[in-house]
Homo-oligomer: A and B are copies of this chain.
């Protein structure tokens, strides 16, 4: 799921891991404050499958420290340099690895965005919606309806609130149900808007029709 979001960001411009996290955090705020422990493995995955390529940070103007053995005079200094080298063979001086999306990556992104899965989780669904502008109107509508169906079903199954629950359990269950209800309302608004823009004229005719 993170993969999709990362590819979505890289579609706009090349970024490195730290920036990706910032973008997610700053732009999508509450929805996606993702850990580095997720970001970097995700980038490795994507690189391994060829969806992205890691390029060196070309912006290394001042203080060229790539000399083989800078005679610092300090032994510990030299050792530190070597240790750093050993640990970061492919990285540039600043240690920035800028990632660029490939053609395959663009394909993968489209697939991930359009695939039927990843709708059960609120987080994953939210991320999909956040990048829904890359979807065809039809696929967008389908996505929203699929999520709606899941929430409705979940609400129905939870159903009749158990009477032998104490105040706290009942309260939290009720509140969760209310949240889901609000989610559905939100989806209904989105779906309505979506339908209106899709066929603005025949809106009243095709209304409530043959959904599969």
Cβ–Cβ contact B173 & A30, under 8 A: yes
CA distance A134 to B54 in the complex (A): 52
Chain B residues with CB below 8 A from A183, complex form: 175, 179
Can you list 27 contacts pairing A with B, beta carbon distance less than 8 Å?
A: A26-B162, A27-B162, A27-B165, A27-B173, A28-B169, A28-B173, A29-B158, A29-B173, A29-B177, A30-B154, A30-B177, A31-B172, A31-B173, A31-B176, A126-B172, A126-B176, A129-B168, A129-B169, A130-B169, A130-B173, A131-B168, A133-B166, A133-B167, A171-B186, A175-B186, A179-B182, A179-B183
Chain B residue at minimal CB-CB distance from A174: B186
Cβ–Cβ contact A30 & B180, under 8 A: yes
Q: How far is the CB of A144 from chain B (nearest CB, A)?
A: 10
Q: How many copies does the complex hold?
A: 2
CA distance A129 to B175 in the complex (A): 11
Chain B residues with CB below 8 A from A130, complex form: 168-169, 172-173
CA distance A26 to B126 in the complex (A): 27
Does A132 reach chain B (CB closer than 8 Å)?
yes
Within residues 11 to 61 of chain A, which ones have a CB less than 8 A from any CB in chain B?
Answer: 26-31
Cβ–Cβ contact B179 & A179, under 8 A: yes
Does A141 reach chain B (CB closer than 8 Å)?
no
- With A27-B162, A179-B179 known, 13 other A-B pairs at CB within 8 A are A29-B157, A29-B159, A29-B161, A30-B173, A30-B176, A30-B180, A129-B169, A129-B171, A129-B172, A130-B173, A131-B168, A175-B186, A179-B182
